[in-house]
C-alpha cells in the first residue's frame, strides 16, 4: 500500500515539474495516439510542445503520448495561433482551426491622416470598369480615387449641383450623381444639371439612381419615382401607380430588365411589364419594410438589405432574398448576421454576398457567415455605410475613411 502511494506521488511530482516548464505535461508509458490537423487556410506549420510536426497542414501527427499539449500554428500573413489540447490515449483525434488574418497585410485604410481624402465621413461607394472608386459625401461633394490620387468634384471646382451626394450611377457615356439639389450628369468634361428650375422634378433631393437596359434613367426621391428617357421626366407615386410608398430608398434592375424599388417603410416593389407588385411585412414573408439596398445573384435571386437605426424594429433588419416564390430572411435572431440592420450589399464572382452593416462587414456564401469587425480586421469602426467590389475581387467599404480588403476570395 505504501509503495502504491509512493508511486502515485512520484507521478504527480513529475507531472508538476513538467507543467512548470513552457510545455504542457504528457503522460508517458501509455498507448500512443495521433492527431489529424486541419487549418483554414492550409499549409500552416504545426508545433507540438514546441517541436515541429513535420509537413504543413493538413497533416497527421502520430506516435503522441497522451496528455496535455501546447499546439502552435504559424502561417505567413496570419496571426500565430496557440491552443492547448488534452489528447486521450489510443485515439485518433481531429483538430480544425480557422487562422486569424493579420490585419496589417489584408487591410488598408485611407483617411485624412494618411492620405489626401478630404473627409473621413464617406457614404456610398461604387466602382467603374476602370476600377476607379467613386465615393459620395454629405458635405464635400464627389470623390474619385484612381488607386493613386484622390480627386474631388464639388460646387467650387465643377458643375456638380450640390456637395451633398446621395448616390452615383456609372454608364458607358456618363457619370450620374443623385444629390439633394437634383441630378448631375458628367461626360468627363461638362456637367448638365436637372432640377426643379428646368425639369419636371417634384423633389430635388434625389435618394438613388440607376439605369435599365433600355437606357432609361430611374431616380428615387421622397416624393416618388422618376423615369428619365433622355428627353423628359415621368413621375410615379402613390396617386398614379401601384408603388407602395413615395419614399424611395434603393433601386435595382434584374436580368429581365425588371425594376425593383426599395422604399423606406413600404417594403420593396417590382415593376414588371407595366405591372406593379408589392412585398412588405404585411403581405409577404419579408422581414423588414425599410429597404437600404438591392442586388441580384448569379441565380437571379433578389437580395435586399434592410433595417434602420432610427426605427423601432418590431421585426429585425438584416438581409433577405427572394427566389421568385418566397422570401428567406436572415437576422441576428436566426443566423450569423450580427447586426440590427444592413446598409449595403454586393455579390462577388463566387456568388457570395458581402454586406455592410452596423456590426461590421459580413460575408455569406450560402452556408457560412464570416464577420469582419474591429476585433479581427483592419476596420476602424463597426459602422459600415457602403461596400463595393473591384475587378480583382478586392472589397472596398466606407467607415472611418475608406478601407480596402484583399482577402475573402
The topology under which CATH files domain 23-100 is Immunoglobulin-like (2.60.40)
Distance CA 28, CA 313 (A): 59
DSSP string, 38-61: EEESS--EEEETTEE-SSPSSEEE
Q: Are 89 and 362 in contact (CB under 8 A)?
A: no
Residue (of 143, 216, 66) closest to 398 by Cα position: 143
Nine cell digits for residue 33:
495516439
Q: Which CATH class is domain 104-405?
A: mainly beta
pLDDT at 109: 96
Cα(396)–Cα(409) distance, rounded to whole angstroms? 13
Residue 320 dihedral angles phi and psi, to the nearest 5°:
-135, 155
pLDDT digits (tens, 9 = 90+) for 58-117: 999 988 888 899 999 999 999 999 999 998 888 899 999 999 999 999 999 999 999 999
SS3 85: strand
Cell of 344: 449595403
**pLDDT at 304 (0 to 100):** 97
What ranges do the domains of the chain cover?
23-100, 104-405
User: Helix (H, G, I), strand (E, B), or coil: what is residue 175?
Assistant: strand
Using pLDDT thresholds of 50, 70 and 90, give the confidence band for residue 31.
Answer: confident
Read off the pLDDT of each residue in 175-190 and give the average, rounded to a whole number. Answer: 96
Q: Is the pLDDT of residue 13 over 60?
A: no
pTM of this prediction?
A: 0.88
Fold identical between 23-100 and 104-405?
no
Cβ 36 vs Cβ 95: under 8 Å: yes
Q: Where are the alpha helices (DSSP H) in 242-363?
A: none
Give SS3 for 124.
coil
Q: What's the rounded Cα separation, in Å, for the pair 304 and 342?
A: 9
CA distance 340 to 160: 34
Amino acid at each position: 500500500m505504501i509503495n502504491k502511494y509512493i508511486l502515485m506521488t512520484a507521478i504527480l511530482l513529475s507531472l508538476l515539474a513538467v507543467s512548470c516548464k513552457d510545455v504542457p505535461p504528457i503522460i508517458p508509458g501509455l498507448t500512443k495516439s495521433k492527431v489529424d490537423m486541419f487549418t483554414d487556410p492550409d499549409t500552416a506549420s504545426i508545433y507540438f510542445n514546441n517541436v515541429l510536426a513535420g509537413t504543413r497542414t493538413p497533416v497527421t501527427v502520430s506516435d503522441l503520448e497522451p496528455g496535455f499539449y501546447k499546439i502552435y500554428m504559424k502561417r505567413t500573413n496570419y496571426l500565430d495561433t496557440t491552443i492547448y489540447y488534452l489528447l486521450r490515449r489510443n485515439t485518433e483525434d481531429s483538430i480544425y482551426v480557422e487562422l486569424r488574418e493579420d490585419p496589417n497585410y489584408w487591410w488598408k485604410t485611407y483617411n485624412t491622416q494618411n492620405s489626401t481624402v478630404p473627409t473621413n465621413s464617406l457614404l456610398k461607394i461604387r466602382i467603374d470598369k476602370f476600377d476607379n472608386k467613386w465615393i459620395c459625401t454629405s458635405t464635400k461633394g464627389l470623390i474619385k480615387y484612381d488607386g493613386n490620387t484622390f480627386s474631388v468634384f464639388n460646387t467650387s471646382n465643377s458643375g456638380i449641383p450640390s456637395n451633398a451626394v446621395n448616390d452615383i450611377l456609372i454608364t458607358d457615356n456618363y457619370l450620374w450623381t443623385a444629390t439633394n439639389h437634383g441630378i448631375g450628369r458628367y461626360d468627363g468634361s461638362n456637367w448638365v444639371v436637372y432640377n426643379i428650375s428646368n425639369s419636371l422634378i417634384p423633389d430635388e433631393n434625389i435618394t438613388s439612381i440607376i439605369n435599365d437596359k433600355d437606357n432609361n434613367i430611374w431616380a428615387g426621391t421622397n416624393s416618388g419615382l422618376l423615369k428619365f428617357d433622355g428627353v423628359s421626366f415621368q413621375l410615379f407615386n402613390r396617386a398614379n401607380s401601384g408603388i407602395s410608398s413615395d419614399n424611395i430608398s434603393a433601386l435595382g434592375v434584374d436580368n429581365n430588365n425588371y425594376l425593383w424599388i426599395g422604399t423606406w417603410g413600404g417594403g420593396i416593389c417590382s415593376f414588371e411589364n407595366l405591372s406593379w407588385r408589392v412585398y412588405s411585412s404585411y403581405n409577404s414573408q419579408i422581414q423588414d419594410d425599410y429597404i437600404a439596398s438591392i442586388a441580384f445573384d448569379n441565380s437571379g435571386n433578389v437580395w435586399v438589405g434592410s433595417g434602420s437605426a432610427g426605427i423601432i424594429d418590431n421585426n429585425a433588419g438584416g438581409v433577405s432574398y427572394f427566389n421568385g416564390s418566397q422570401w428567406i430572411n436572415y437576422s441576428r435572431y436566426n443566423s450569423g448576421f450580427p447586426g440590427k440592420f444592413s446598409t449595403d450589399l454586393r455579390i462577388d464572382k463566387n456568388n457570395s454576398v458581402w454586406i455592410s452593416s452596423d456590426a461590421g462587414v459580413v460575408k455569406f456564401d450560402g452556408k457560412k457567415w464570416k464577420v469582419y469587425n474591429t476585433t479581427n480586421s483592419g476596420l476602424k469602426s463597426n459602422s459600415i455605410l457602403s461596400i463595393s467590389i473591384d475587378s480583382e475581387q478586392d472589397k472596398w467599404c466606407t467607415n472611418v475613411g475608406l478601407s480596402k480588403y484583399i482577402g475573402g476570395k
